[in-house]
Amino acid sequence: MNKPIELSDELHFRCGVTSKNRMALAALTNQQSGDDGFLSEDEARWLERRAQGGFGIITTCAAYVSADGKGFDGQLGVASEEQGGRTESLARAISAAGALGLVQLYHGGVRSPARLTGVQPKSASAFSSTEENFEPPRALTSTEIPAVQQDFVEAAKRVVAHGFSGVELHAAHGYLLSQFLSSTMNTRADGYGGSAAARYRFVGEIVRATRSAIPKAVLGVRISPEDFGYARGLDLHDSLEVASRLAEDGADYVHISLWDIKRLTKKEPTRHPIPMFRAALPPEVPLIVAGAIGTRETAEMALGLGADMVAIGRAAIINPDWAKNVLTAGWVPDQPPLTPEQYLERAVSPTFINYLRRFKGMVG
């Protein structure tokens, strides 16, 4: 009988890299970088503090790989050598704390507004929407597709060269990679759209090229299993096939964004997604799970269902030492709201605090 997985257990990736435990800091939008995309001291401090707090993996916020892929104010960029070079001291600090530093690589696609990029948003296809402030995108041309794919590869090479342990490709939450996977946002007829396999092609080619470019670094991919929020046109069974293909193409792990660990799937409402995705992956490819995991109970629930690692979001904002303290019996994590002064004590900058005010009950 196999020994149950513990949060404190090491996790080995098939690229040869090992995480000291099964707890990761999830990639979190924070708007702390400069308008030029350069890493700020505030953002570095926030991430370094969580590395010191015991997490095995520290994932940066989504970092844009192309200038026209920027999606929000104060977003980190790794689209140039100058931007990537600014992250080197952060990579060293995360490593010195005993954690693996991963940069989440991203292109916003339709979610990259012209006010930030100066150009019309691009996506898998042109489409319209009735949502407020929607900017209709144009379809990437056949010559632009390989260029955008190469932007991901070059960004991965860049951050690994500057000391990070690897990258996580952001194919969730309705950003560009997710738009290609979508049956509603991708209506291409050139081999990159149509069937689920064709819609995966854009992502798969990036994964294979990135794997080849950083063979000894961690390569993970985050996906949305089903429609939620900006992630649309996603079928559960298609997403299971995506997970399987990602493993075949060289991903070291697959990360599913569930939003709520206790929620069952929409398509099969009597089944939980974690066992389904664990079964879709080979044993050597870990499954990382995020979704309102904030206590030892919910983290162990995820592991018990088949996850190999948990990604912690809001709970890590409030509890920078969550990964250390959760292993102590009886520890109860702090809950929101916190005052601005309490956030400052936790290495959360005024800019990040202001961003958190968008979420009900986070700032008191």
**Catalytic site residues?**
175
Report CA-CA distances (Å) from 232 to 148, 179, 229.
22, 8, 7
Task: Give the rounded distance of the alpha carbon of 110 from its chain centre.
Answer: 18
Look at the block and give the residue holding tokens 């991963």.
Answer: 102
- CA angle centred on 179, ends 188 and 106, rounded to 5°: 130
User: What residues contact 78, with CB distance under 8 A and at least 6 apart?
Assistant: 37, 63, 64, 65, 84, 87, 103, 105, 155, 158, 159
Look at the block and give the residue holding tokens 């870990």.
Answer: 286
Best CA proximity match to 223, nearest among 284, 277, 148? 277
Angstrom distance (rounded) from CA 297 to CA 60: 26
Taking each helix axis from N to C terminus, what angle separates 296-305 and 273-280, rounded to the nearest 10 degrees? 50
Q: Which two tokens stand for residue 314?
A: 């809001």
Report CA-CA distances (Å) from 12 to 290, 299, 306.
19, 19, 16
Look at the block and give the residue holding tokens 């890299």.
Answer: 17
Q: Is 328 exposed, middle or buried (0-12, 13-18, 19+ CB in 10 A)?
A: exposed
- For the beta carbon of residue 241, count every other beta carbon within 10 angstroms: 15
Angstrom distance (rounded) from CA 187 to CA 125: 6
Let me know: does 251 contact 217? Beta carbons within 8 Å: no
Best CA proximity match to 13, nearest among 215, 165, 213, 218? 218
